Amino acid sequence: GSVTPFVGPFLSYVRRLPLGVVAQITPWNHPLLIATKKVAPALAGGNCIVIKPSEVAPVAVFELAQALHDAGLPAGVLNVVNGVGAETGKYLCSHKAISKIDLTGGTSTGRVVCSTAGQNLKHVTAELGGKAPVIVFADSDINRAISGVAFGAFVASGQTCVSAARLLVEESVMDQVVNGLVEKANSILIGDPLNPQTQMGSIACHRQLVHVQQLVESARVDGCEIICGGGRPSNLPEKLSKGHFFAPTLIKGVKPEMRIFQEEVFGPVLTITSFKTEEEAISLANNCDFGLGSAIWTKNIARAHRVAHALEAGLVWVNDHHKNDPAVPWGGFKDSGMGKENGWECLHEYTKTQSVVVNLSDEGTDWFAGGARYS
């Protein structure tokens, strides 16, 4: 809690209280990490939790719950329920005993969750989709930028909400950056995620693989140039040939009005668009309904701050990507959601405030007998 200023002989303080029972809906990407980011502040705020993991990746969440139970967390404080989002998730969002919904998922799911939760005036935190722009200026360390962009685009097979998705390159260094990225993408070792030598694994499920394929095909139809990847890898061993693998993909000639520029792929696909001026780069970066992650590559510190302040994104990295710390708030603008994970903001969103005002004077005031009036 906190003590707040108050005019006169009064003590004013604010208490932070648990919300009660909260529901958490976690995705199939980074299932353990994201569940931990939700469970920790909810417990710290004094709440009980019902968590529904993705039906595609439920095991890690069950293991987390078991570990906390074994460590002494009382029974009933953390509860895991299974089921598909359209049924179990909908039930949780509409249940009157639930005080808050904390969702990480797609924007379309977020709209449904917020609408359902709103019927009962529930608190909502929603970390939704992203389409992160990455701006590479000519004054950057180009080799470092190439490595950083490749990491941002292809780590976890591009299945993160802040993946580098839209590369914006200053025209004068376009060829150098593109050639370096093609070389880097072609060098990535794709294979079994359980093999320590593997650098990139598969897409999570068949449905997601089809989604990636369809968006890449839309780029082909729109006249874009697929300069790397664009389909399933051809050099996989026989035992992996039927897996949901998709090669690191680079697409040139992408324009803002195209689906591949606007829609979240959630796969190892990076679009490439050139710009001439700083103002054009900012305009291209903000020309999207999403606003979660973004990155800037430049050696000019003034430009770095200037462009960062102009970007419509909840997270801006300068000369890096993906880096985060539990103390740093994480969340987006626009269609990328509402509320924050991490930091004090996250903990506060798992509490409700009660203001207490105490009159410390022994003298009373009769408002109706002409005493001092307070408004």
Active site residues: 127, 161
Kindly tell me the number of DSSP H helices and DSSP E strands found in the chain: 11, 18
Alpha carbon distance 54, 60 (integer Å): 10
Which residues have C-beta within 8 Å of that of residue 238, sequence separation ≥ 6? none
Q: Phi then psi for 308, rounded to 5 degrees?
A: -55, -40
Q: Alpha helices, DSSP H only, in 328-368? A: 343-348
* Contact by Cβ (8 Å): 227, 182: yes
Amino acid at 150: A
Q: CA-CA distance, 209 to 243, in Å (whole number)?
A: 10
Here the tokens at position 304 are 């770095």
* Integer Cα distance of 178 and 251 in angstroms: 10
**Cα 251 from Cα 220, distance rounded (Å):** 9
